[in-house]
Amino acid sequence: MKIILSGLVLCITLTIGYLFSTHKPLENDELFTHVSSIEGMSYRDIVTLKIQEGNISPLFYLTQKAFLDFIGFRLPFKWNGDWFVADHSSQIALRCLSNFFMAGSITLVFYFFSRFYSLGAGVYGAVVALSSFMTLAYWAVARPYSLWNFLTTAQILLFIYLLRGGHKERRVWNLLLLTHVLLSLTVTFAAVQIAAVSCVLFFCKDKNLKRYFFLTVVPVILCLVYYFGAPKYSFFFTDNAIQLIGASFPKDRLALVFLLGGLLSFAVWKGNGTLFQKLKDYKVVYLLFTVMMLF
């Protein structure tokens, strides 16, 4: 039943993404990425650090190029640097994978919480994921955002499963390892979230150092390879740090996050047992992980 409902959620979200794709003109960044980093590059160039963008981690560019080659798509017009271009077939083709990954993220959330908690929790999780501003803003964008979102969603859900102590832990550890490698090939910032997940798992779940060589060290090294291999451009900001944070994370939402975090922390502090005993509760551990990710 959960599989059938998850398939329905996937169909609904793919339809939503399709509508976004057809109604939103292609943006300058999407076209630049396609012309210079995908259509204008060979597979070898993509892997060997030839991309001239700030993020040159190759997975998005490889999958996008392979998909477009498979369907035989080539940009049907010459892009002259226009900021917005409306072309129905190009909007659908270039955004097809991004739509799939974003829809897949929402479907994963629904499936996980409906299977391991309740159907209501699954619906609530899917609605929250669907209503997020970042989901709606970057859903139909042919750049690495949707792939990063999908892999991060998979990482977090696998992480929660391990904290809960599921009965298929060995398989889940392997899936988490694969997810970390794919993340490291998607964005260099993945090094931060990989390190955060690994630190929490090491201190609260499994202290076998050998496990973390492939789970953590190898993916972080891959992130660093593509970070230091990327071209460095001279940017500067006229805003201060607080203004930059406020532009990316609305102050009212930030206040609610701190308020909720404070209330949850107070509830943990007032709870029974020592701090060590409290850290055995996966919900408390996940609260600590959320704080780490926010920082």
Residue 273's pLDDT band (cuts 50, 70, 90): low
Same domain, 225 and 248: no
235 in any annotated domain: no
Q: Which of 4-8, 62-66, 207-211 has the lowest mean pLDDT?
A: 207-211
Is the pLDDT score of 170 beyond 90? Answer: no
At residue 238, does pLDDT exceed 60? yes
Q: Is the pLDDT of residue 268 over 70?
A: no
Q: In this predicted structure, what is the pLDDT of residue 161?
A: 92
Query: Would you state the pLDDT for residue 124?
Result: 93
**Per the domain annotation, does 236 fall within a domain?**
no
The pLDDT of residue 287: 77
Q: Are both 170 and 35 inside the same structural domain?
A: yes
Q: How many domains does the chain contain in total?
A: 2
Q: Is 76 within a domain? A: yes
CB-based contacts of 93: which residues, under 8 Å, 6+ apart?
Answer: 68, 71, 73
Same domain, 172 and 271: no
Do 68 and 143 lie in a common domain? yes
* Beta strand residue intervals within the chain, DSSP E: 26-27, 84-85
Asked if residue 75 belongs to a domain, the reply is yes
Domain extent at residue 175: 2-229
How confident is the prediction for the chain on average, in pLDDT? Answer: 88
Highest mean pLDDT among 12-21, 33-42, 239-248, 266-275: 12-21
Q: Is residue 100 part of a domain?
A: yes
Please indicate, yes or no, whether residues 179 and 100 belong to a single structural domain of this protein. Answer: yes
Last residue in a domain, options 203, 229, 255: 229
269 and 152 in one domain? no
